[in-house]
């Protein structure tokens, strides 16, 4: 080969690596877990207590067994779509495009809430309720064509879709409109306005689907600089939870069939770090702990916030390894552990048993 041909070959290999596709076995990686371990090894404000992590692993495993926690738990939630079809895939994409920042400074009876099916829904469930309600009102909120139509889909119509039964508006409404507009444009230009085409582009790889979302959609690219490291820390929370929700909803079949689903990590939100800390598995240093207890805003992308998120990902990975080694005959992945921890934290919240608040960061990433 001439020198030029060698250079071109090397360039192609480098480009593939940069897109997260490794040459040797064509099996892509997301890089999220490696980056989580990097932050854990290099940060000084958040640590993991091994003894509590081991204990938490046992408790989590026992309760997951008791509740026979599986992919089918996803569809058992009252508001989640039940049909296993393309419309549900579009529903889940819309949901995870907007699945961020529901927390409020106001007391429970004044905070943003959606009234639907005779109940008052807050947090994540307010999003799901609003989408269900819009569809029942014949508003095509899950249709990428609608997202691009500025006459029909705009701040005013979004205020209607997400109208609250209290005085407080849904947080970051303009940012949510921006996410819809950008995604509508990308789906139109690259995937014939079809979420199913987007899923198919990953050719059955969960990691590749995360990488495609990060590559094509600015609003999914949840990566942040950390302490002078050259490459940003990849967290990819909404990209990963989208893949996980599709996998769980379709129970690993049809659009939910991914050969490498176990490469998906915990989703670094503001609820799972809260329960990991409550369990004693995550040790949050005194300065951050004080800020959380005082409900102080922790800035998106700050050193503290990146450590909270990345160390939570690493902590759930250690819990997963602990469960796997103690119970080699069962198969549990970070997704189901995460779903279980989120749902358990919500049950604790509903029962008024939150011992420490969740951290307050306002961003479109979670």
Ligand X SMILES: Nc1nc2c(c(CN[C@H]3C=C[C@H](O)[C@@H]3O)cn2[C@@H]2O[C@H](COP(=O)(O)O)[C@@H](O)[C@H]2O)c(=O)[nH]1
171 binding ligand X? (CB under 6 A): no
Distance of CA 143 to the CA centre of its chain: 21
Q: CA angle 328-334-337, nearest 5°?
A: 85
Which residues, numbered 78-117, are part of the site for ligand X (CB under 6 A)?
A: 99-100, 102-103
Find the residue with minimal CB distance to ligand X.
Answer: 123
Sign of CA dihedral 251, 255, 260, 262: negative
Residue number, 26 or 218, with CB nearest to ligand X? 218
- Decide: 153 and 147 in contact? Cβ < 8 Å: yes
162 binding ligand X? (CB under 6 A): no
Which residues, numbered 19-78, are part of the site for ligand X (CB under 6 A)?
A: 74, 77
DSSP-derived secondary structure letter, 45: S
Pick the catalytic residue from 151, 269, 289, 343.
269
Sign of CA dihedral 269, 270, 275, 280: positive
DSSP track, 314-359 = HHHHHHHHHHHHH-TTS---HHHHHHHHHHHHHHHHHTT--SSPPP
Query: How many residues are listed for the chain in this entry?
Result: 366
DSSP-derived secondary structure letter, 312: H
Q: How many CA atoms lie less than 13 Å away from 112 in the CB half-sphere? A: 21
Q: How many CA atoms lie less than 13 Å away from 68 in the CB half-sphere? A: 2
In this chain, which of 58, 123, 298, 324 binds ligand X, going by CB under 6 A?
123
Size of the site for ligand X (CB under 6 A): 18
In this chain, which of 220, 255, 270, 304 binds ligand X, going by CB under 6 A?
270
Stretch binding ligand X (CB under 6 A), from 205-213, 251-259, 265-273, 302-310: 265-273
SS3 48: strand
Residue number, 53 or 101, with CB nearest to ligand X? 101
In this chain, which of 176, 221, 234, 271 binds ligand X, going by CB under 6 A?
271
CB of 249 to ligand X, least distance (A): 9
Sign of CA dihedral 194, 240, 219, 203: negative
- Decide: 153 and 180 in contact? Cβ < 8 Å: yes
- The residues with which 223 forms a beta bridge, in sequence order, are 234
CB of 5 to ligand X, least distance (A): 47
CB of 75 to ligand X, least distance (A): 10
In this chain, which of 91, 147, 217, 339 binds ligand X, going by CB under 6 A?
339
In this chain, which of 93, 162, 267, 314 binds ligand X, going by CB under 6 A?
267
366 binding ligand X? (CB under 6 A): yes
Residues near 173 by beta carbon (within 8 Å), at least 6 away in sequence: 155, 158, 159, 162
Stretch binding ligand X (CB under 6 A), from 35-43, 57-65, 174-182, 337-345: 337-345
Residue number, 191 or 250, with CB nearest to ligand X? 250
Residue number, 258 or 342, with CB nearest to ligand X? 342
Please state, in angstroms and rounded to a whole number, the distance separating the CA atoms of residues 336 and 69. 7
121 binding ligand X? (CB under 6 A): no
Instruction: State yes or no: is 269 an active-site residue.
Output: yes
223 binding ligand X? (CB under 6 A): no
232 binding ligand X? (CB under 6 A): no
Please state, in angstroms and rounded to a whole number, the distance separating the CA atoms of residues 304 and 287. 9
338 binding ligand X? (CB under 6 A): yes
- Residues of this chain that interact with ligand X (CB under 6 A) are 74, 77, 99-100, 102-103, 123-124, 267, 269-272, 338-339, 342-343, 366
Residues marked active site are found at: 269
């Amino acid at each position: 080969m001439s020198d030029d041909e060698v250079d071109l070959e090397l360039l192609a290999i480098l480009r593939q690596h940069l897109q997260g596709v490794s040459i040797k076995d064509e099996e892509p990686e997301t890089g999220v877990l490696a980056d989580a371990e990097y932050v854990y090894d290099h940060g000084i404000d958040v640590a993991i207590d091994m003894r509590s992590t081991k204990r938490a692993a046992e408790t989590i495993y026992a309760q997951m067994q008791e509740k026979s926690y599986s992919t089918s738990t996803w569809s058992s939630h009252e508001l989640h779509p039940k049909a296993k079809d393309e419309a549900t895939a579009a529903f889940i994409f819309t949901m995870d495009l907007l699945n961020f920042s529901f927390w409020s400074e106001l007391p429970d009876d004044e905070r943003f809430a959606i009234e639907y099916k005779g109940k008052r829904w807050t947090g994540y469930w307010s999003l799901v309720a609003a989408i269900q309600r819009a569809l029942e009102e014949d508003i095509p909120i899950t249709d990428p064509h609608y997202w691009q139509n500025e006459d029909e889909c705009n701040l005013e119509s979004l205020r209607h879709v997400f109208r609250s039964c209290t005085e407080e508006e849904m947080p970051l409404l303009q940012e949510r409109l921006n996410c819809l507009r950008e995604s509508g444009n990308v789906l139109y230009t690259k995937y014939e306005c079809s979420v199913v085409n987007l899923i198919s582009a990953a050719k059955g790889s969960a990691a590749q689907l995360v990488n495609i979302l990060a590559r094509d959609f600015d609003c999914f690219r949840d990566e942040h600089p950390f302490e002078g490291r050259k490459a940003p820390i990849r967290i990819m929370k909404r990209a990963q939870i989208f893949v996980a929700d599709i996998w769980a909803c379709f129970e690993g079949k049809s659009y939910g069939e991914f050969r490498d689903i176990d490469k998906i990590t915990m989703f670094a939100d503001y609820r799972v770090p809260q329960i990991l800390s409550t369990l004693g598995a995550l040790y949050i240093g005194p300065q951050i702990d004080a800020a959380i207890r005082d409900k102080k805003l922790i800035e998106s992308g700050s050193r503290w916030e990146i450590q909270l998120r990345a160390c939570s990902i690493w902590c759930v990975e250690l819990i997963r390894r602990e469960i796997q080694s103690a119970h080699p005959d069962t198969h549990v992945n970070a997704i189901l552990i995460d779903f279980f921890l989120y749902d358990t934290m919500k049950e604790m919240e509903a029962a008024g048993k939150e011992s420490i608040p969740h951290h307050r960061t306002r961003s479109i990433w979670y």
